[in-house]
A and B are shown apart, each in its own frame.
Chain A
Amino acid sequence: GESVGLHLPTLSVQEGDNSIINCAYSNSASDYFIWYKQESGKGPQFIIDIRSNMDKRQGQRVTVLLNKTVKHLSLQIAATQPGDSAVYFCAENNDYKLSFGAGTTVTVRA
């Protein structure tokens, strides 16, 4: 994925508010998208995924939206908590290889 237009490299959020992280992906042939969370000093961890035949998927406190027309993904985190502070990456799967976007650093303010 790549970061174009709506993508912000950093996001500061008040604890308890909702967070929205945006991502623009590059390959219209990609059929599977994933959001990962990376905490400092650790490898990425899976959050939620969505296939190209869907436009919305919900998990626990997280929702992913997919707009294939404009090749855009978003991750919504409800009631953001201090433990949500991390770097968030969108990734697109194409031909069994996963390509990552540049990431958004989320900082939660107490």
Chain B
Amino acid sequence: NAGVTQTPKFQVLKTGQSMTLQCAQDMNHNSMYWYRQDPGMGLRLIYYSASEGTTDKGEVPNGYNVSRLNKREFSLRLESAAPSQTSVYFCASISDPGLWTEAFFGQGTRLTVV
């Protein structure tokens, strides 16, 4: 049982390049979330998917798009990377949006945009 798996773990991009961060969970969870973590700022919600087929904006959605490919997978895309998007990105999943005690986080993707 792998839990929440994020790929890649590390990535360096040049300004203007695009890339997709992948997230997959094997716990049959309904809801999935993407956060970014910057020093001294905690985790900020980028986008979330309360259930398969739905996606919604969080606090900081600008510059990102998401796809809930199926129940297992929730990807985050940067169409034109900017240095301000240098951050550590975490994916999380929970069975029920009200049950954050059961939230599982991935190991994170450390992205550097130069």
State the interface size on chain A (CB cutoff 8 A).
Answer: 22
Indicate if the CB atoms of A44 and B43 lie closer than 8 Å: yes
Q: Are B45 and A97 in contact (CB under 8 A)?
A: yes
Residue of B nearest to A46 (CB): B101
The answer to whether the Cβ of B21 comes within 8 Å of any Cβ in the partner chain is: no
Instruction: Please report which residues of chain A, range 24-74, place their CB below 8 angstroms from some CB of chain B when the two chains form the complex.
Output: 32, 34, 41-46, 49
B59 engages A99 (CB within 8 Å): yes
Q: Looking across the interface, which residue of chain B has its beta carbon closest to that of A33?
A: B100
Taking the complex as formed, is B97 at the interface, i.e. its CB lies under 8 A from any CB of chain A? yes
- In the assembled complex, the Cα of A100 lies from the Cα of B97 at a distance in Å of 16
Could you tell me the distance in whole angstroms from the C-beta of A105 to the nearest C-beta in chain B? 10
Interface of A, secondary structure class, is strand
B45 touches A102 (CB 8 A): no
Task: Give B64-99 interface residues, CB cut-off 8 Å to A.
Answer: 90, 92, 97-98
Q: Is A91 an interface residue (CB 8 A)?
A: yes
Q: Which of B34-48 contact A (CB under 8 A)?
A: 35, 40-45, 48
CB contacts (< 8 Å) of B33 on chain A: these are: 98
Contact between chains at B44 and A93 (CB < 8 Å): no
In the bound complex, what is the Cα–Cα distance between A109 and B99 (angstroms)? 35
A82 within 8 A of B: no
Find out whether the CB atom of B43 lies under 8 angstroms from the CB atom of A96. Answer: no
Q: Are A89 and B97 in contact, CB atoms less than 8 angstroms apart?
A: no
Name A's B-contacting residues (CB within 8 A): 1, 9, 32, 34, 41-46, 49, 89, 91, 93, 96-103
Which residues of B come within 8 Å of A, CB atoms? Answer: 4, 31, 33, 35, 40-45, 48, 50, 58-59, 90, 92, 97-98, 100-108
**What are 30 A-B residue pairs whose CB atoms fall within 8 Å in the complex?**
A1-B42, A9-B40, A32-B100, A41-B107, A41-B108, A42-B107, A42-B108, A43-B105, A45-B105, A46-B100, A46-B101, A46-B103, A49-B100, A49-B101, A89-B42, A89-B43, A91-B100, A93-B98, A96-B31, A96-B98, A97-B45, A98-B45, A99-B45, A99-B59, A100-B35, A100-B43, A100-B44, A101-B42, A102-B40, A103-B42
